[in-house]
Amino acid sequence: MAAESPKDEVDTCLSCHGEKGTEKKLPSGETRNLFVDRAVFEKSVHGAKLGCTGCHPGYQEMPHPERPAKDAQEFRAGFRDLCKSCHFANYTKALDSVHFAALSKGNSAAPFCSDCHGAHDIARPNEPRTKISDTCSGCHSGEAEAWAKSVHGETLAKTNSADVPVCTDCHKSHAIHDPRTQTARLHSPEVCAACHKDEKKMAKYGLSAKVYQTYVGDFHGRSASLYAGQTKAAEKVIAVCTDCHGFHEITRTDAAGSGVLKANLQKTCARCHPGAPPNFPAAWLSHYEPSPKKAPLVWATALFYKILIPLMIGGLVLQILLHLWRVVVNK
């Protein structure tokens, strides 16, 4: 018998599954809804491109073979591996994620493919981009709420711009690592730098593209970079971007509640430097580069050493060469 086209297969399957109220009762007493809305499915990215058995192999026969699932969680788990036949690269990345690690430890509520992308209503994940944070909020409501009120969340809500980071820009989409680890913490400046050292992108918003460059040039950034290259990082490295700016609740730097606003900076520094006096933040140039207008003394000192050090080294090398020349001549 010739295989049905995807459209014909969908027509066949929906002759039963297109009836509202179609469900399966499990041994636990729970029921699973088996109804599929044709209009919703046809609008999905799979739609007419993929028949039902593309994701449900072996169900061409009637009656369908029984699936040994005792409860809803086990029934749901039976669909976790179905995406890998077409999306193997992303599937393998997900196996290294914090979500799969939680599943492996027995947390059956941890999400996998269909929990984030849906089942019969799968759409492109970034259309609109706000859908990404809405999806993550299903499990991470507190973080999503804080992000929505942040400078990132508010800007995205107003513009839907691809410039604005959503959850997956910072945490990735499939290979999501545990952000609470020291390794993730040390890597966080590079995550921020993905946008904040992009000159064209920052120019649109009147922001400096040298914040990462100036960060890695000071004590905090240098120490974080040093420990980031070690297999056993220090217990705590101070400070990375999130220590001063926050995580999901990042505000404009000139907002009243901003931790880096001049009026609040002493309190922010005191988190790591207990007893910091009122003038303590003045020892830090923030993300500015020294110039004749900004920190002229620091700029002049740096310029002095840039001239002095090459002259000293050059003079020393010249003295050695002259000495060698005299030794050769006097032989």
pLDDT confidence of residue 128: 84
Q: Is the dihedral of CA 105, 233, 238, 190 positive or negative?
A: negative
Could you give the angle at the alpha carbon of 103 between the alpha carbons of 101 and 106, nearest 5°?
Answer: 115
Say if CB 148 and CB 248 are below 8 A apart: no
Say what the pLDDT of residue 318 is: 94
Best CA proximity match to 74, nearest among 37, 103, 36: 103
pLDDT of residue 176: 94
**pLDDT at position 2, please?**
47
Q: What are the two backbone dihedrals, phi and then psi, of residue 5, each rounded to the nearest 5 degrees?
A: -70, 160
Q: What is the DSSP letter of 167?
A: H
Please, what's the b/e burial string for 76-103 (b: 16 or more CB within 10 A of its CB; e: otherwise)?
beebbebbeeeeeeebebbeebbbbeeb
Q: pTM for the full model? A: 0.79
- How confident is the model at residue 1, as a pLDDT? 39
Beta bridge partners of 31: 25
Token duo for residue 245 = 């700016």
Backbone angles phi, psi at 31, to 5 degrees: -120, 150
Q: Could you give phi then psi for residue 32, rounded to 5 degrees?
A: -120, 130
Predicted confidence pLDDT, tens digits, the chain (331 residues): 346 788 888 888 999 999 998 888 888 888 989 999 999 998 998 886 788 888 888 888 888 888 778 888 888 887 888 898 899 999 999 999 999 999 989 888 899 998 899 889 998 888 888 889 999 999 999 999 999 999 999 999 998 888 999 999 999 999 999 998 888 888 899 999 999 999 999 999 989 999 999 998 888 888 888 887 665 655 566 789 999 999 999 999 889 889 898 889 999 999 889 998 988 988 887 888 888 887 788 888 888 999 999 999 999 999 999 999 988 888 7
